[in-house]
Amino acid sequence: MSMSILLPTNLQQCPSPSFSPSTPLLSPSPSTAFSFVGTSRRCLRLVTCCVSSVQSSVANGSAPAAVIVERDQIRLGLPSKGRMAADSVDLLKDCQLFVKQVNPRQYVAQIPQLPNTEVWFQRPKDIVRKLLSGDLDLGIVGLDTLCEYGQENEDLIIVHEALNFGDCHLSIAIPNYGVFENINSLKELADMPQWSEERPLRVATGFTYLGPKFMEENGIKHVTFSTADGALEAAPAMGIADAILDLVSSGTTLKENNLKEIEGGVVLESQAALVASRRALTDRKGAIKTVHEILERLEAHLKADGQFTVVANMRGNSAQEVAERVLSQPSLSGLQGPTISPVYCTQNGKVSIDYYAIVICVPKKALYESVKQLRAVGGSGVLVSPLTYIFDEDTPRWGQLMRNLNL
């Protein structure tokens, strides 16, 4: 009986493999009850070739060149689960961009403030892959995920590299006991006499691109990498690895599993970043305008994060005199300098100026010291309020993005 298979368009484009009808597709055991012949064998072989090609591409973190498909909506990819997902939505909310999900089980949402934008919730690694394939235009992911699955692809462009959440670093960790007890640096680890071509250093990791790349760049030859399910921290104790390469936040989990980081063993520092498809920004209608608005909102909020407005009244004969007293204190210079304006009072029916109002911006860590210094030079009635946004004359990263896009 002959069999025909209707291939999807993308599989129809796969090159036809060379084969001989006499060559078995599979190597079944004698008990296998099926055999493939004629058209069935040829169709199945073609499907297998195409699917294998796609799977290989996905497994390696690469993707075919993005094809810009005509659509009206700009697609923004956000992490679908975990702390990164909540922090991404919270950051957008702080920027007055509210992600509206009709149903929490749905993977698509809207942002009313950006009517031409759809939000798609995806796994972080799939966000990178879909940016490369053209299915997404923008995305928020960790720099570690971007580097591992983007693999320095030129179509990926970082719009904002520091969104102030998801902080961690990718690092090598080894046991703090046994033959590793006195090993404290990457060089010492590489120089251990145990490692050879027959017995290489075994590293368990989920970063199968960044790991080998890092070792090669550091001249470490006798090393092999393996992936492990579950917690990597258990791999050395189980004897299936000598070291691990994993993300580290506080380091507590490493210590609890008798592991330690080593000098020179940090592969990269990571936090959440806004990433875009270069081709989408240049070719998709409305994409660059949407990115500009998102970037301006992000920069204004992130610059204001941790900043406070301090207002106080101070007696003085002139604004110049008050300014000199304020600027004599190291913590009172503000972002560009203090703003000083007259306070008008009425005395005996006449308007007079006895006080001047001082307005400065100070970081949270310097807040109390700034208030003390302000009072020391005559400030009174000090008011403190947190800043929400600081809009610059121009968004610094916008200019950099335009230069990167040659626009």
Confidence of residue 67 (pLDDT cuts 50, 70, 90): low
Mean pLDDT of the chain, nearest integer: 85
* Same domain, yes or no: 173 and 254: yes
* Same domain, yes or no: 264 and 279: no
121 or 68, greater pLDDT? 121
Comparing CA positions, the residue from 71, 45, 97 lying closest to residue 36 is 45
* Same domain, yes or no: 321 and 334: yes
Q: Do the beta carbons of residue 176 and residue 168 sit within 8 Å?
A: no
Long-range contacts of the stretch 207-210 (C-beta < 8 A, 24+): 207/144, 207/148, 207/170, 207/245, 207/246, 207/267, 209/60, 209/61, 209/147, 209/148, 209/149, 209/151, 210/144, 210/147, 210/148, 210/170, 210/245, 210/267, 210/268
Task: Indicate the burial class of 33 (C-beta count within 10 angstroms; 0-12, 13-18, 19 or more).
Answer: exposed
Give residue 42's identity as a one-letter amino acid code: R
CATH code, domain with 195: 3.40.190.10
* Residue 406 belongs to a domain: no
* Same domain, yes or no: 136 and 183: no
Please tell me the predicted confidence (pLDDT) of residue 17. Answer: 42
Q: Do the beta carbons of residue 371 and residue 398 sit within 8 Å?
A: no
* Pairing relationship of beta strands 108-110 and 223-226 according to DSSP bridges: unpaired
* Residue 50 belongs to a domain: no
Task: Indicate the burial class of 110 (C-beta count within 10 angstroms; 0-12, 13-18, 19 or more).
Answer: middle
Give residue 298's identity as a one-letter amino acid code: L
- pLDDT surpasses 90 at 116: yes
* Same domain, yes or no: 149 and 279: yes
* Rounded distance between C-alpha atoms, residue 272 and residue 144, angstroms: 9
* Rounded distance between C-alpha atoms, residue 307 and residue 370, angstroms: 12
Please tell me the predicted confidence (pLDDT) of residue 51. Answer: 35
CA dihedral over 227, 232, 236, 238, signed as positive or negative: negative
* Same domain, yes or no: 263 and 277: no
Name the strand (E) or helix (H) holding 279. helix 278-283
* Rounded distance between C-alpha atoms, residue 294 and residue 365, angstroms: 28
CATH code, domain with 314: 3.30.70.120
* Rounded distance between C-alpha atoms, residue 379 and residue 359, angstroms: 11
Comparing CA positions, the residue from 193, 212, 210, 213 lying closest to residue 144 is 210
* Same domain, yes or no: 177 and 162: no
* Residue 41 belongs to a domain: no
Q: Which domain holds residue 83?
A: 74-166+272-285
Q: In what order do the strands lie in the sheet with 138-142?
A: 108-110, 117-122, 74-79, 138-142, 272-277, 156-160
* Same domain, yes or no: 105 and 192: no
Domain count of the fold of the chain: 3
Mean pLDDT of 71-88: 95
- pLDDT surpasses 90 at 15: no
* Residue 187 belongs to a domain: yes
32 or 62, greater pLDDT? 62
* Last residue of one domain, picked from the residues 215, 240, 269: 269
Cβ-based neighbour number of residue 170 at 10 Å: 24
Give the distance, in angstroms, between the CA of residue 333 and the centroid of all CA atoms in the same chain.
33
- pLDDT surpasses 80 at 231: yes
* Residue 107 belongs to a domain: yes
- pLDDT surpasses 70 at 30: no
* Same domain, yes or no: 157 and 182: no
> Would you call 226 helix, strand, or coil by DSSP?
strand
Please tell me the predicted confidence (pLDDT) of residue 45. Answer: 37
* Residue 34 belongs to a domain: no
Mean pLDDT of 300-305: 95
* Rounded distance between C-alpha atoms, residue 8 and residue 19, angstroms: 21
Rounded (10°) angle between helices 210-217 and 143-150: 90
* Same domain, yes or no: 130 and 261: no
- Least confident piece of the model among 44-48, 90-94, 277-281, 361-365: 44-48
**Look-up: residue for tokens 């939000």?**
119
Point out which residues pair with 175 in neighbouring strands: 259
* Residue 294 belongs to a domain: no
* Same domain, yes or no: 223 and 356: no
* Last residue of one domain, picked from the residues 223, 252, 285: 285
* Residue 57 belongs to a domain: no
Please tell me the predicted confidence (pLDDT) of residue 65. Answer: 58
- pLDDT surpasses 70 at 369: yes
Name the strand (E) or helix (H) holding 21. none
Please tell me the predicted confidence (pLDDT) of residue 68. Answer: 66
* Same domain, yes or no: 155 and 181: no
62 or 289, greater pLDDT? 289
